[in-house]
Amino acid sequence: MIEAPATSIPEACDAASRRVYVITYGCQMNAFDSRRIVQVLQGQGYAETADPAMADLVLINTCSVRDRPEKKVLGTLARLLPLKEARPGVAFGVCGCVAQQHGRDLLLRVPYLDLVFGTDKIADLPRLLTQVEAGDRVACTEVMPRTDYAFVDVDPSVEHGPSAFLTIMKGCDRYCAYCIVPSVRGREVSKPPHRVLAEARALIQAGVRDLTLLGQNVNSYGKGLAEPVDFVSLLEQVAALPGLSRLRFVTSHPADADDRMLDAFGRLPVLAEALHLPLQSGSDRVLAAMRRGYTREAYLARVARVRAACPDIALSTDMIVGFPGETEDDFQASLDALEAAQFDAMFSFKYSPRPGTVAAGLPDDVPESVKAARLARLQAAQDVITARRMVRYQDRVEEVLVEGTSRDQGSSERVGRIAPGMTEYFGRSRTGMVVNFAVPRGTPDPTGTLVLVRIDEVLVHSLRGVRVDARAPEVGGTHGG
């Protein structure tokens, strides 16, 4: 799963009596949860603010997947402390995966922290806040049994823009040897399909065109549900909703990505040509120690299958270097696997022991300097492959879903990228590439619509081009790039 930056927020409405400022670390799951938290708080009379100095409640939604995340949380809280001194009524809360992991300990370590709530407790926020408002310091991190887990239904009014996430399941039952997610997110629970469909319909109705279904391992969707439904049948049902232009999902586990799922890329036109399939290592020995449940050969067969179904698909992956016992030969196998798979993009990480995981019982024996050197070598190798893959976009006409004006308009003008009198917009291609294009100022704002852009410049991680359609094409899924 890809880590998302902090969410950007339009300024809050003035009518609300109280304001919440949310900082989000971690993956899309946390980004999604932050939206649900804001939604639940709206029901309690809060509005979201982008200015921490205005906030009555400051929440940090945390990630514990790597490094010393608790250190980061304590650092962030210390940085925010002056807010509390300036405005004594303001409450501080920590939620997400570090909260789930450390619970009440955080209250003991940070005397000015008011609230700690776990990943299963979003629906309980109103009750917890009442206690905080009564002057209590509250920690609530109970993990809900599978049967009692309460998903918070999406209210589209808290989403921003034409792209949205939708959780279809929570938790993970795979227990990869290095991973803390199963212990901080609990067991897998799938959301019933009728609820997924109702939420997807509501989002589409509100203008969402590009929908990403979320889960730690979406391929095991459906386990434990009353109705017999699996991930591919859910995909088919969402794909059939009118008005949706692009459907995506993260994350797929390679061992559970079966032929039916991979072949869906060839038969469901609305499925965007992009797949994130974390490999983690190219060495069979390391993959076995990681308990990933596949070999390098089996993984590459998945890649070949999905490319046969959808030749233009953009593949991305996650890699870990320096797993316990990783030798130079094992690492070389990872480099070779990148060459064999030809990913469009890679997210790579130095192995970081996490408490309570199987791998934490193994010696963390790859020295930090070796981990750093391997990470740099892996990234350099992928940079060459990414550049090679990017060339295919040159002169192609891409369908772009416009997300807004480019953030770097000012600096682009200064370096002469945008001619005077032009406004630059950005959006994403079906393969997920960021595409920038400029139109004369005064042109109707294309934000939220699909436009066609001929690519005339391929940059390192983005594309630039010229809009070539007279007006936005009809929505509804055109296959291919």
CB-based contacts of 329-335 (< 8 A; 24+ apart in sequence): 329/283, 330/281, 330/282, 330/283, 330/285, 330/286, 331/283, 331/374, 331/377, 331/378, 333/281, 333/282, 333/283, 333/284, 333/286, 333/296, 334/281, 334/282, 334/283, 334/378, 335/282, 335/377, 335/378, 335/381
Which CB atom, from 63 or from 268, has the smaller least distance to ligand SAH?
63
**What are the tokens at 244?**
């949706």
Contacts with ligand SAH: how many residues (CB under 6 A)? 19
CA angle 400/205/243 to nearest 5° reads 50
Phi, psi of 19 (to 5 degrees): -130, 145
Which CB atom, from 20 or from 169, has the smaller least distance to ligand SAH?
169
Smallest distance from ligand SAH to CB 363, Å? 15
Binding flag, residue 126, ligand SF4 (CB under 6 A): no
Binding flag, residue 62, ligand SAH (CB under 6 A): no
Contacts with ligand F3S: how many residues (CB under 6 A)? 13
**What are the tokens at 92?**
């501080």
Phi, psi of 449 (to 5 degrees): -115, 170
Across the chain, which distance is largest between two alpha carbons, in Å? 62
Binding flag, residue 176, ligand SF4 (CB under 6 A): yes
Smallest distance from ligand SAH to CB 67, Å? 8
Residue 49 binds which of ligand SF4, ligand F3S, ligand SAH, none (CB < 5-8 A, kind-dependent): none
Residue 182 binds which of ligand SF4, ligand F3S, ligand SAH, none (CB < 5-8 A, kind-dependent): ligand SF4
Near ligand F3S by CB under 6 A, which window of 34-42, 57-65, 303-311, 436-444?
57-65
Which CB atom, from 66 or from 307, has the smaller least distance to ligand SAH?
66
Q: Which of 64, 183, 317, 406 binds ligand F3S (CB under 6 A)?
A: 64
Smallest distance from ligand SF4 to CB 169, Å? 11
Cα separation, 107 vs 147, in Å, equals 29
| Dihedral of alpha carbons 163, 168, 174, 177, sign | positive
Cα separation, 237 vs 93, in Å, equals 38
Binding flag, residue 351, ligand SAH (CB under 6 A): yes
Smallest distance from ligand SF4 to CB 316, Å? 15
Identity of the residue numbered 283: S
Q: Which of 181, 200, 214, 463 binds ligand SAH (CB under 6 A)?
A: 181
Cα separation, 378 vs 374, in Å, equals 6
Cα separation, 414 vs 48, in Å, equals 33
Question: Residues 202-221: x/- map of binding to ligand SF4 (CB under 6 A)?
Answer: --------------xx----
Residues 145-174 that bind ligand SF4 (CB under 6 A): 172, 174
Q: Which of 104, 175, 198, 407 binds ligand SF4 (CB under 6 A)?
A: 175
Cα separation, 127 vs 136, in Å, equals 12
Smallest distance from ligand SF4 to CB 224, Å? 16
Residues 253-292 that bind ligand SF4 (CB under 6 A): 253
Buried b (16+ CB within 10 A) or exposed e, 155-171: bbebbebbbbbbbbbbb
Near ligand F3S by CB under 6 A, which window of 7-15, 58-66, 150-158, 269-277?
58-66
Q: Which residues contribute to the site for ligand SAH (CB under 6 A)?
A: 1, 65-66, 172, 178-179, 181, 216-217, 251, 253, 278, 280, 318, 320, 349, 351-352, 354
